[in-house]
Structure formats: C-alpha cells, structure tokens
C-alpha cells in the first residue's frame, strides 16, 4: 500500500497497440480536490491516458496509483479499486429498457449491494443534483442527449466515487445542450470533487480547471495553471493548437 498523497499518481506510463506507441512515458499527478483538464489534438493519447487510470486499458508498462492503491500491481483487487472511480464517457451507455431511475439504481444494487430503498433514495438525490429529478420514470429514448449525459453523471455519482473521470462528455451533444452538462460539472468542481477531464471545451478548462495538461504525440507537452497554459502558453505546439481551436478560421497557410 502506497501512502496517500495524491488522488492519482502516474509514473513512466507507456501504452502500445501493436507497433503503435500511444503513450510514451507519462508522468503526472492529481491532488485531492483538484480539477485537471487534459487537452490536445485527436490521436494525442488523451482518452487512452484516461482509460489507463482505471485500467479499462491495460498499460504496457509504468505505474498507476489511485488513492494509495497501485492499480498496476498484478495482485490488486481491481474491481474493489474501481468502486471509488466514477467514469463518464462520450456515449451515454444507458440501458434502453430501463427507466432513468432504474439506470441509476442498478450498479448500486449489483456492485455495492445496497438495498432497494437506499439505492432509490441515493438515485433520486443524484438525479435532483444534476437537474433531472422529474425524469425518473422516463426511458432514455424520451430524453435529449444532454439529459441522457446528466443521467450518466448521476449514475456515476450514485456510486459515491472519490474520483471522477470524464472522457469528452460533451463531444456527442448538439451545441445547445453542452451548457447543461458543463453546468453540472462546474457544480461538482465547486463542491470539491476530484476530477480528471479530457475535453475540447476550452472555456470550461480555463474557468474551472486548477491545471491544464496539453498532450501531443503521446507525451505531455505542457502542464500548468489553466490561466497560464490557455492564456499564455509557453510551448509553440500548444500555441498552434490553441490558436486553431480558439479561432477555427485561423490558418498558417
């Protein structure tokens, strides 16, 4: 057991898919209560990094420690370790044949072994928290994309995680629905939830993140306070990326 200093600690993390090396020796940490946003171009390794944090992807080498437990230890109880980690994906992954309430209850019942009454109470509390408590009896097909993503967030929160991972949670949404999801995430940040967020939402990263990590080509190019990395980046590659994201009509040609 490693002493708990960081919520997440990653050391010399490598990940290969065949001959393709996607992560090339990542080192970084997230402290309890911090919000860290990971930005960068497509194919830079952001989502792979996030998925390695809870071992949805098995690292090729390196160490991943979450709340003092080394997930990359071959003897670790990975199912137990994952119970403290909530994850929200690009896609909502809701069960279409279950109501909203049932979707938020099922993992509590099956994984945490909570009784029905307790699971329902916690589900309703978290659905209220994300602003869709009135949709408990609806089915996913009856909800907008933004509402479905908020159900997915409520489902993760209902498991009482100490760490939340977000993998581009707004990328599948229509633009007018993005704000509702980001509002929920802002609220979580204000409440002190430790969050690691892969995102293309630069305004959210600038306003909410304690730190921003810019990745490119499987390495961390820049890591620092949000206002510095987004407002005054030091590396030319970061400057080029942000100029294209913040001003899509910008071109060097």
Give the range among 105-109, 154-158, 240-244 with minimum mean pLDDT.
240-244
CA–CA dist 227, 172 (Å, integer) = 27
- pTM of the entire predicted model: 0.92
* Per-residue pLDDT band at 140 (split at 50, 70, 90): very high
**In whole numbers, what is the pLDDT of the chain averaged over residues?**
92
CA–CA dist 47, 39 (Å, integer) = 10
Looking at the predicted structure, is the pLDDT value of residue 234 above 70? Answer: yes
Strands lying side by side in the sheet with 69-70: 20-30, 8-17, 61-66, 69-70
**β-bridge mates for residue 13, sequence order:** 26
* Per-residue pLDDT band at 1 (split at 50, 70, 90): very low
What would the pLDDT profile of 61-80 be if each residue is shown by its tens digit?
999 999 999 999 999 998 88
pLDDT of residue 250: 54
pLDDT of residue 2: 46
CA dist list (Å): 138 to 14, 96, 116, 247 = 43, 10, 19, 40
Task: Tell me whether strands 194-198 and 35-39 are parallel, antiparallel or unpaired.
Answer: parallel
Looking at the predicted structure, is the pLDDT value of residue 174 above 90? Answer: no
């Amino acid at each position: 057991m490693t002493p708990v200093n960081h919520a997440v600690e990653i050391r010399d993390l490598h990940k290969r898919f065949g001959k393709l090396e996607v992560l090339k020796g990542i080192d970084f940490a997230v402290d309890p209560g911090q919000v860290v946003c990971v930005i960068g171009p497509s194919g830079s390794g952001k989502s792979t990094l996030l998925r390695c944090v809870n071992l949805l992807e098995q690292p090729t080498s390196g160490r991943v420690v979450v709340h003092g437990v080394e997930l990359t230890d071959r003897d670790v109880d990975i199912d137990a370790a994952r119970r403290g980690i909530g994850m929200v994906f690009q896609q909502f992954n809701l069960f279409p044949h279950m109501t909203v309430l049932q979707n938020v209850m099922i993992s509590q019942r099956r994984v945490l072994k909570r009784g029905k009454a307790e699971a329902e109470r916690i589900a309703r509390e978290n659905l209220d928290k994300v602003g869709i408590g009135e949709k408990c009896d609806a089915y996913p097909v009856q909800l907008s994309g933004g509402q479905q993503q908020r159900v997915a967030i409520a489902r993760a929160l209902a498991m009482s995680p100490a760490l939340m991972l977000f993998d581009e949670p707004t990328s599948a949404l229509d633009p007018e629905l993005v704000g509702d999801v980001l509002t929920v995430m802002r609220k979580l940040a204000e409440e002190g939830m430790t969050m690691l967020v892969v995102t293309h939402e630069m305004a959210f990263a600038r306003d909410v993140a304690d730190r921003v990590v810019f990745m490119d080509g499987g390495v961390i190019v820049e890591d620092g306070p949000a206002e510095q990395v987004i407002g005054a980046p030091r590396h030319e590659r970061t400057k080029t990326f942000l100029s294209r994201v913040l001003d899509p009509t910008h071109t060097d040609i």
